[in-house]
Structure 1
Amino acid sequence: MQRTERLFALAEYLRGRRTGVTAEVLAERFSVTVRTIYRDLDALRAAALPVGAERGRGGGYALDRGYSLPPVNFTAREAALVVALGRFAIDMRLLPFTGTLESALDKVRSALSTSAQRELLARLRELTFLGVPSLPTRKPVREALERAWFERQPLRITYVDSNFLETVREVRVESVVMDRHETRLDAVDLASGERRHFRLDRITRAEVVGP
C-alpha cells in the first residue's frame, strides 16, 4: 500500500471507530512500524484533519467523527472553465501530473447533470488551444515524480545529460519548474548535497525511495 492510500485508509479507519486506538494497534493493522504511524498521524494533522489523543481506558488516537470534506457544487459555466483549463494544461503538458488531473476532470464532469454535460461539451468545442507543448516525458517517470513530490519522499532517477552520459542519482525534489517547452526539477542531490536542475524529459527511469 502506497503512503497516500495508507493515509486515506488511516483517516477513514479512525473516523469509523467509536473509541481511540493506540499507535501499536494501528501499526499492526497497516503493516508498518509505530514510527511510521506517528509520521502518518503528523501528516494528517498537517493536512488539517482533527486527530486527537486521549488517555485512559478506551483512549488512543481518534478522528473527530463530525469531520468531512464540504461538498463543492459547480455550475455548468464554472465546470466548463475548470475542465477547459485542465485540458489546456494536459494538452500543453504544463503539468507532469496528468493522470491525477485527468481523474479530477472526470469527477467534475461526472458530477454534472446530463444537460449540463452537453452544454459543457458544446462550449469546449468552441475553445482552441494554441502553443507549443512541453517536451514529452514517460508516464512511469511522471507518476513516480508525483508521488515523491506530494509525499516528500526521495526519488531515485536515471538521468541522461546533454553529453548522453547516463547516471543514477537519489534526489530530494524541492520544486517543479515549468518553463515554456520544458519541465525541470529543482532538486538536491542526496549524495553530494548539491542543488541541481534536472530536465524531466531526460529522466529515463524514476522510483520513489521511501516507505
Structure 2
Amino acid sequence: MQRTERLFALAEYLRGRRTGVTAETLAERFGVTIRTIYRDLDSLRDASMPVAAERGRGGGYALDRSYSLPPVNFTAREAALLVALGRFAIDMRLLPFTGTLESALDKVRSALSTSAQRELLDRLKELSFLGVPSLPSKASVRAAIERAWFEQQVLRITYVDGNFLETTREVRILSVVMDRHETRLDTQDVKGGERRPYRLDRIIQAEVVRPFEP
C-alpha cells in the first residue's frame, strides 16, 4: 500500500470508530512500524484533521467527534458579525490560534450566496473595532501551542524572561488568558508540577513533544 493510499485509509478507519485505537493496533492493521504510524498521524494533523490522543480505558488515537459538522445556514447579518469579530481577534493578535480562525472565517464566507457575500462586504465596511494589539509572536510558536492545547500534548518551550534569561521547559497548557496588551499561557511544569504563566510574545521556540500522561 502506497503512503498516500495508507493515509486515506487511516483517516477513514479513524473516522469510522467511536473509541480510540492504539498506535500498536494501527501499525498491525496497516502492516507498518509504530514509528511510521506516528509519522502518518502527524501528517493527518498537518492536513488539519483533528487527531487526538485519548487516555484511559478505550483510549488511543481518535478523530474529534465534532470533525463532521452538520450544515449551518448563516444570514448575512450573522456572518458579518462573526467575520468582523474574528478579524478583530486576528488583527489585535489576541489568539494564538489564528490559522484555525482564518480557516473558519473562510468557511463562513463560502457558505453564503453571492448576494449575501456582497451584503457581507458592505456591512463590514460599516463595522470597526479599536484597541491596542497584543505583542507579536512567531507563527511556528502559535502553531505548536494550538496543537498542544487542542490535543492535550506536552509542549517544550524556550522562554526569554524580563531579564533576558533564556530557559527551556516542558509544560502542559492549563488555560490561555487574553489581555488587552498580551496573551499568556497558564501552564504546569511536567516534571516539577509548578504552575506558572508565560507571555506568548516571549516564547521564542515551541514544539510538541508527546501526549500528556498524568
Q: Say yes or no: TM over 0.5.
A: yes
Amino acid at match of 1:197: P
Determine the structure 2 residue equivalent to 1:82: 82
Amino acid at match of 2:137: T
Q: Do the aligned partners of 1:183 and 1:201 also contact (CA within 8 Å) in 2?
A: yes
Q: How far apart in 2 are the matches of 1:106 and 1:170?
A: 34
Q: Secondary structure at the match of 2:210?
A: coil
Determine the structure 2 residue equivalent to 1:199: 199
Q: How far apart in 2 are the matches of 1:46 and 1:13?
A: 10
Structure 2 gaps of 5+ residues are 1-7, 42-51
Q: How far apart in 1 are the matches of 2:121 and 2:53?
A: 44
1:101-136: CA deviation from partner (whole Å, max 9, x where unpaired) = 000001111111111111101110111221101111
1:4-37: CA deviation from partner (whole Å, max 9, x where unpaired) = xxxx9756335569xxxx966533338548xx99
1:58-99: CA deviation from partner (whole Å, max 9, x where unpaired) = xxxxxxxxx953211111111111111111111111211001
Structure 1 gaps of 5+ residues are 1-7, 50-66
Structure 1: 4+ residue segments shifted above 2 A: 8-17, 22-33, 36-49
Q: How far apart in 2 are the matches of 1:78 and 1:175?
A: 28
- Report the TM-score, using the length of structure 1 for normalisation: 0.74
Determine the structure 2 residue equivalent to 1:92: 92
Amino acid at match of 1:160: V
User: Counterparts in 2 of 1:4-43, with a 5 A limit?
Assistant: 12-13=12-13, 26-28=26-28, 29=30, 32=34, 39=53, 42=59
Count of residue pairs brought into register by the alignment: 184
- Report the TM-score, using the length of structure 2 for normalisation: 0.73
Structure number, greater radius of gyration: 1
Q: How far apart in 1 are the matches of 2:61 and 2:73?
A: 25
Q: CA, structure 1 residues 68+155, in 2 after alignment: closer, same or farther (shift >3 Å)?
A: closer
Q: CA, structure 1 residues 188+12, in 2 after alignment: closer, same or farther (shift >3 Å)?
A: same
Determine the structure 2 residue equivalent to 1:146: 146
RMSD: 3.4
Q: CA, structure 1 residues 195+9, in 2 after alignment: closer, same or farther (shift >3 Å)?
A: farther
Q: Secondary structure at the match of 1:210?
A: strand
Q: Do the aligned partners of 1:11 and 1:44 also contact (CA within 8 Å) in 2?
A: no
